């Protein structure tokens, strides 16, 4: 699971990357993109750790990719730079609200760059398929179907619409996703602006924060940080919230495993089954899957103690096809 931090050059992406992941941006990796891992803060994990006193606590994580910023008036070069994030699951678009530009027009221009980059990919695909379906071949039916789909995508992009705005069936979404189109990805828009800035009319950012200031604050000892925050009138830090926004935009849920050795949060695609969840932990656990013992976090919290959890019998036995819910605490029984 990876979220690309994108935007124009100088919007503060690399500073945000360091804030979210704790990794130092490496200038030699600016062009190829740099990956860092952010911890997903989750109070539920803390609660489960209090309950089990495990030897190890492992939170769920999100990967962020710091990308080279886009340039003004350089569509082909920009399309290439955007190519880096085709594999990403979501985009965090960072806008510059600290040096006097207009973030609304910046976002519009960024949207146009993404449309242009997608148009190149889709035009290419349409041309290849049109040539290919002229020849007899075993998968011609399939290719005709795909051609119809990519032509719809082309028409949408040409009219300025995103791929995400197309109403696609589940069967169409999958091949579409395989193209890695940028306008197909969920987005989180963040405005990098001084503390207290109201977003301009027409912009609806998920968060407004002073990226540089917050990185400086993050580097302080807690006591010192509190004093500085009070001095500056900063009431909240945004790091955990932004990581959570990115995580939710991707459509991930968290399930937990909890015991004395380890309490751990795991990422899972929404709608995945118990056996797929087992596979996240170990392929053997999926192969030998017998049953899952499942308890909802909220019920565990309401019970409050291990003894009360037992007494209330809140654990259910579920089979392979059970759809795992966000917050499920799962113990997998395996025959392997």
User: By CB under 5 A, how many residues form the interface with Mg ion?
Assistant: 2
Residue 281, SS3? helix
Q: What are phi and psi of 265, to 5 degrees?
A: -100, 140
- Nearer residue to Mg ion within complex by CB, 74 or 302: 74
Residue 139, SS3? coil
Q: What are phi and psi of 167, to 5 degrees?
A: -90, 100
Residue with tokens 């349409």: 126
- Nearer residue to Mg ion within complex by CB, 14 or 21: 14
The one of ligand GDP, Mg ion, none whose footprint includes residue 192, by CB under 5 to 8 A per kind, is ligand GDP
For ligand GDP, the binding residues in 81-100 under the rule CB under 6 A are: 98
Binds ligand GDP (CB under 6 A): choice among 62, 114, 211, 249? 211
CA within 13 Å, CB half, 242? 31
Contact (Cβ atoms closer than 8 angstroms) between residue 289 and residue 334:
yes
Tokens of 106: 């910046």
Contact (Cβ atoms closer than 8 angstroms) between residue 55 and residue 90:
no
Binds ligand GDP (CB under 6 A): choice among 21, 34, 162, 192? 192
Shortest gap between Cβ of 19 and ligand GDP (angstroms)? 10
The one of Mg ion, ligand GDP, none whose footprint includes residue 103, by CB under 5 to 8 A per kind, is none
Part in contact with Mg ion (CB under 5 A); list of ranges 9-17, 85-93, 234-242, 285-293: 9-17
- Nearer residue to Mg ion within complex by CB, 94 or 121: 94
Q: Give the largest CA-CA distance in the chain.
A: 74
Part in contact with ligand GDP (CB under 6 A); list of ranges 4-12, 109-117, 169-177, 249-257: 4-12
Part in contact with ligand GDP (CB under 6 A); list of ranges 128-136, 207-215, 242-250, 272-280: 207-215
Q: What is the dihedral of CA 274, 278, 279, 283, to 10 degrees?
A: -140
Q: Does 10 bind ligand GDP (CB under 6 A)?
A: yes
Shortest gap between Cβ of 239 and Mg ion (angstroms)? 18
Contact flags string 19-58 toward ligand GDP, x per CB under 6 A: ----------------------------------------
- Nearer residue to ligand GDP within complex by CB, 211 or 217: 211
Q: Does 150 bind ligand GDP (CB under 6 A)?
A: no
The one of Mg ion, ligand GDP, none whose footprint includes residue 162, by CB under 5 to 8 A per kind, is none
Angle formed at CA 266 by CA 326 and CA 188, multiple of 5 degrees? 70
With a CB cutoff of 8 Å and minimum separation 6, the contacts of 118 are 157, 163, 181, 182, 183, 184
Which one, of 184, 209, 239, lies nearest residue 19 by Cα?
239
Q: Does an H or E element contain 232, and which? A: helix 222-232
Shortest gap between Cβ of 3 and ligand GDP (angstroms)? 15
Contact flags string 11-50 toward Mg ion, x per CB under 5 A: --xx------------------------------------
Residue 49, SS3? helix
- Nearer residue to ligand GDP within complex by CB, 20 or 51: 20
Angle formed at CA 292 by CA 287 and CA 295, multiple of 5 degrees? 155
Residue 33, SS3? coil
Tokens of 10: 């100088």
Residues lying near ligand GDP in the complex (CB under 6 A) are found at: 7, 9-15, 69, 98, 192, 210-212
Which spans of this chain sit near Mg ion (rule: CB under 5 A)? 13-14
């Amino acid at each position: 699971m990876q979220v690309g931090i994108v935007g124009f050059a100088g919007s503060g992406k690399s500073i945000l990357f360091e804030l979210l992941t704790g990794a130092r941006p490496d200038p030699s990796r600016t062009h190829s993109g740099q990956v860092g891992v952010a911890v997903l803060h989750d109070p539920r994990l803390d609660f489960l750790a209090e309950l089990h006193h495990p030897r190890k606590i492992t939170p769920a994580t999100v990967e962020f990719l710091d990308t080279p910023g886009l340039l003004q008036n350089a569509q082909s070069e920009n399309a290439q730079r955007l190519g880096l994030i085709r594999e990403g699951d979501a985009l965090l678009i960072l806008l510059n609200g600290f040096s006097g530009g207009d973030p609304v027009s910046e976002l519009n221009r960024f949207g146009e760059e993404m449309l242009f980059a997608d148009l190149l990919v889709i035009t290419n695909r349409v041309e290849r398929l049109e040539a290919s379906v002229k020849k007899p071949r075993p998968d011609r039916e399939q290719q005709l179907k795909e051609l119809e789909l990519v032509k719809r995508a082309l028409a949408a992009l040409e009219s300025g619409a995103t791929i995400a705005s197309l109403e696609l069936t589940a069967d169409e979404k999958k091949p579409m996703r395989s193209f890695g189109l940028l306008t197909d990805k969920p987005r989180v828009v963040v405005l990098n602006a001084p503390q207290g800035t109201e977003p301009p009319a027409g912009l609806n950012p998920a968060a407004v924060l002073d990226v540089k200031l917050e990185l400086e604050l993050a580097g302080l000892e807690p006591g010192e940080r509190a004093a500085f925050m009070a001095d500056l009138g900063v009431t909240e830090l945004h790091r955990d919230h932004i990581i959570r926004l990115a995580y939710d935009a991707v459509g991930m849920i968290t399930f937990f495993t909890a015991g004395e050795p380890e309490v751990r949060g795991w990422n899972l695609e929404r709608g995945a089954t118990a056996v797929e969840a087992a596979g996240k932990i170990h392929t053997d656990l999926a192969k030998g899957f017998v049953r899952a013992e499942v308890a909802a976090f909220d019920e565990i919290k309401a019970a409050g103690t291990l003894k009360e959890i037992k007494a209330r019998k809140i654990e259910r036995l579920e089979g392979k096809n059970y759809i795992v819910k966000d917050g499920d605490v799962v113990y997998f029984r395996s025959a392997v």
